[in-house]
Amino acid sequence: MEKKDNLFTFIIINGLLWCFISLGFFKIVGFYIDILGIIFAILFLFSHIFLFAWVTGILCLPFKYIAKPFLKFSCVFWASLFSVFLLIDLFVFSQYRSHIGLAMLELFFGPASREIFVFPVSMWLMSFGSILFIILAEVGILLLSKHISLKPKWIKVFIIIWVFCFVGYNCLYAWGKFMMVPQIISQRKVLPLAFPLSADRRLVKLGFEPKKDLYSLPKQGRLNYPLVPLLCSNTGKTNVLIIVVDALRWDMLNKEVMPLLSNWIKQPGMSVFTNHISGGNGTETGIFSLFYSLPRSYWDDFTSLNLPPILVSKALEDGYEPAIFASAKLTSPTFYRNVFAGIKDLRIGSKGNTSWERDLNAVEDFEEFLNRRELNKPFFGFIFLDAPHAYSYPLEEKVFTPAKELNYLLLTKDTDPLPYLNQYKNSVHFSDKLIDRVLTDLKKRNLLDNTFIVITADHGQEINDSHHNFWGHNGNFSDYQTKIPLVVYHPNKGFPAKIDYRTSNYDVAPTIIESVYNCSNSTFDYSVGYNLFAQTPRRFNILSGYTEKVVRVGDNIIVFDDFGSIQHYDNHFRPSKEEIDPSIIKESLEYFRRFYK
């Protein structure tokens, strides 16, 4: 540019233009029309989008002093590049409610792109035409900027205003996240590459406490859940009881480790699903998939809206008395903000110094609930046991030896897993006794024949099984961390059954909604799962981590993470060259967007 050219003007014009384009993101998800939601949206939009404008200016600035002939080209190139990115990201967001990442780009430019992304020739022509238009528009903005000269004091004022908005946006988000304000935290995903400030721990250390009562639902949100109202005729009012054992893997359900439950599954009405996987490899993903029958990608939206799953809200609507007894606190993860948000006076946690003591307290409190409950009302129960997650059990329950407590600092891939596996088995053996205690108590009270029971886990637990130095969960998506037991007691099933086809946690809620609440809707009106007893072929399964989306076909696993990598594995987390049908990948992407407006 010549001396009279104004690089700052060029950047401001582009920044304002990008802010205008980015209004499209908010239009897709819906605007929050209350004052707080509007203020946050304005601060967020202006301060975040202008970050890209400043980056563009920084990339162009060196040419102003060291290579002026290239300054014009640089300005047009970088501004056009981001404009194209923003428009493509807007299109992707409208289709999948997620932003462009390196993983998606790798898919797009990979060998299977023609099968996953099918676009007509007309669309390609329009795309190239749009890119050419953008380049010409940037040239026009460049020429316009020559004739608009801003005084230094106005430049300073603009920068001060932006800094004020940027600080305000981050502080408002940190407060909103801490206080779980739905109008604020639900907007974070709207714009690309947004990582606002979070200060939960700092605020707690300063003596602040999060809001305990629930916010009312915002006037407008982005979710469309369920797709249509449910049509149900729950006249029988069968009780529902879900027993989840944290970190219980599938191969523990045997006569040696869980002898009592192994005897129960021989009883009429019991069905054992031998090829069952969780919806993820952690507690948050496992429980969320179990109750919502949706992947974890919806977590923030349901949490920000305090919106419980149909599985729970329909029970409350039908007059079920809630009986929620969790060993670990329901505040971490924040299940009290989503799964159980509609339950008043929710029991948050249990008493005890160790996990096994808290487990025992949860069971005792459930028994006390049965003593005092209203006999004319059905109950919706949830018992969450934690002992295997912590390798915790009473000393007198030390059945498997040698057993040793885990010191993660001393573990390597060559460490013998046997003593730690025995420690884990002892904790599972103790959980088996608690499950038996619950089932026996129900039988004595003549409640067993009127209670639909699910016994399962949130995720598995790897104990260096593949000798990759994985100890626990949240590390990979192998069978050891994702394959879990599932036992279902259906009072109307007259014989024990062993079911070998692949099922997942996504199938549990639809089964209860159909079999107990007697709803006639398609399961895809409110979930991504099937009825457990429907032998509909599952072409694939989806799983989630905190930063990964996973598609599994048979024993082949493909992992897309938020940091841009795509990896193929087998069910033992060994690298695999086996490719997954691109049409399946395309279909799986629909699961992550179905319940958005």
Is 421 within 8 Å of 465 (Cβ atoms)?
no
With CA atoms as reference, report the closest residue to 300 among 197, 177, 208, 457: 177
246 and 200 both lie in a single domain: no
Give the number of other Cβ atoms within 10 Å of residue 112's Cβ. 16
Residue 2 pLDDT more than 60?
Answer: no
- Find the mean pLDDT for residues 325-335: 89
The pLDDT of residue 1: 38
Mean pLDDT along residues 361-367:
98
Q: Over 50: is that where the pLDDT of 3 sits?
A: no
pTM of the predicted model as reported, rounded to 2 decimal places: 0.72
- What is the tally of structural domains in the chain? 2
Closest C-alpha to 536, from 558, 511, 570, 517: 511
Bridge partners of 98? none
Is 485 inside a domain boundary?
A: yes
Upstream peptide bond of 226 is cis (omega within 30 degrees of 0): yes
CA distances from 103 to 114, 191, 553, 555 (A): 16, 18, 19, 21
Rg of the Cα atoms in the chain: 27
Task: Say if residue 197 is in the same domain as residue 243.
Answer: no
Q: Could you tell me if 33 and 165 are in contact, meaning their C-beta atoms sit under 8 angstroms apart?
A: no
Tell which residue, 181, 192, 196, 218, has the closest CA to residue 97: 192
Tell me the average pLDDT across 349-360.
94
Is residue 152 assigned to a domain?
A: yes
The amino acid at 201: R
Whether residue 501 is found in the same domain as residue 352: yes
For residue 384, name the pLDDT band (cuts at 50, 70, 90).
very high
Determine, yes or no, domain membership for 233: no
141 and 70, same domain (yes or no) = yes
Looking at residue 95, its pLDDT comes to 56
Residue 54, pLDDT > 80, answer yes
Q: What per-residue confidence (pLDDT) applies to 175?
A: 87
* Residue that is last in its domain, among 184, 205, 226: 205
pLDDT band at 122, cuts 50/70/90?
A: low
Final residue before a domain boundary, out of 205, 224, 254: 205
Q: Of 110, 75, 425, 380, whose CA–CA distance to 251 is shortest?
A: 425
Residue 66 belongs to some domain of the structure: yes
Q: In this structure, are 277 and 347 located in the same domain?
A: yes
pLDDT digits (tens, 9 = 90+) for 278-297: 999 989 999 999 999 999 98
Please, what's the b/e burial string for 336-359 (b: 16 or more CB within 10 A of its CB; e: otherwise)?
bbbbbbbbeeebebbebeebbbbb
Containing domain of residue 179, as a range? 7-205
| Same domain, yes or no: 504 and 386 | yes
Query: pLDDT grade, residue 368 (50/70/90)?
Result: very high
On whether both 200 and 246 belong to a single domain, the answer is no
What is the reported pLDDT for 204? 74
pLDDT of residue 496: 81
What average pLDDT score do residues 98-111 get? Answer: 59
Do 186 and 246 have their domain in common? no
DSSP collapsed to 3 states, 480-515? HHHECCEEEECCCCCCCEEECCCEEHHHHHHHHHHH
**DSSP assignment string, 62-79:** HHHHH-GGGHHHHHHHHH
CA dist 301 and 385 (Å) reads 27
8 Å CB contact between 509 and 283: no
In this structure, the number of other CB atoms found within 10 A of the CB of residue 597 comes to 12
- Provide mean pLDDT across the span 474-489: 94
Please write the tens of the pLDDT for every residue from 390-445.
999 999 999 999 998 877 667 788 889 999 999 999 999 999 999 999 999 999 99
CB 273 within 8 A of CB 415: no
Q: Tell me: do 376 and 476 sit in the same domain.
A: yes
- When pLDDT is cut at 50, 70 and 90, the band that residue 108 belongs to is low
288 and 174 within one domain: no
What percent of the chain is modeled with pLDDT above 70?
A: 91
Mean pLDDT in residue range 368-390: 95
Least confident of 120-124, 342-346, 357-361, 543-547: 120-124
| Candidate from 30-44, 149-163, 180-194, 556-570 with smallest mean pLDDT | 556-570
- Give dist(CA 565, CA 128) in Å, integer: 27
Higher pLDDT, 240 or 473: 240
Task: Report CA torsion sign: 149, 150, 152, 153.
Answer: positive
Region 199-214 average pLDDT = 70
- Identify whether residues 113 and 251 lie together within a single domain: no
**Secondary element (H or E) of residue 202:** helix 200-205
Contact yes or no for 381/438 (Cβ under 8 A) = no
pLDDT at 222: 74
Q: Could you tell me if residue 558 is inside a domain?
A: yes
Query: Considering the domain boundaries, does residue 150 fall inside one?
Result: yes
Residue 135: C-alpha distances to residues 56, 131, 148 (Å): 15, 6, 20
The whole-angstrom separation of Cα 13 and Cα 111 is 39
Closest by Cα among 384, 373, 385, 431 to 239: 373
Count of residues making up the chain: 597
Give the pLDDT band of residue 243 (cuts 50, 70, 90): very high
Domain termination residue (choose one: 182, 205, 228): 205
The DSSP element (H or E) to which 557 belongs, if any, is: strand 556-561
Residue 234 lies in a domain: no
Higher pLDDT, 409 or 486: 486
Any idea of the CA torsion for 166, 167, 173, 174, to the nearest 10 degrees?
Answer: 150
Q: For residue 324, give both structure tokens.
A: 């929620």
Q: Do residues 328 and 414 share a domain?
A: yes
Which position has the higher pLDDT, 125 or 503?
Answer: 503
Mean pLDDT comparison of 50-54, 95-99, 105-109, 180-184, highest-scoring range: 50-54
Mean pLDDT computed over 192-199: 84
The burial class, CB within 10 Å (0-12 / 13-18 / 19+), for 145 is: buried
| 442 found inside a domain | yes
Query: Is 390 or 593 the better-scoring residue by pLDDT?
Result: 390
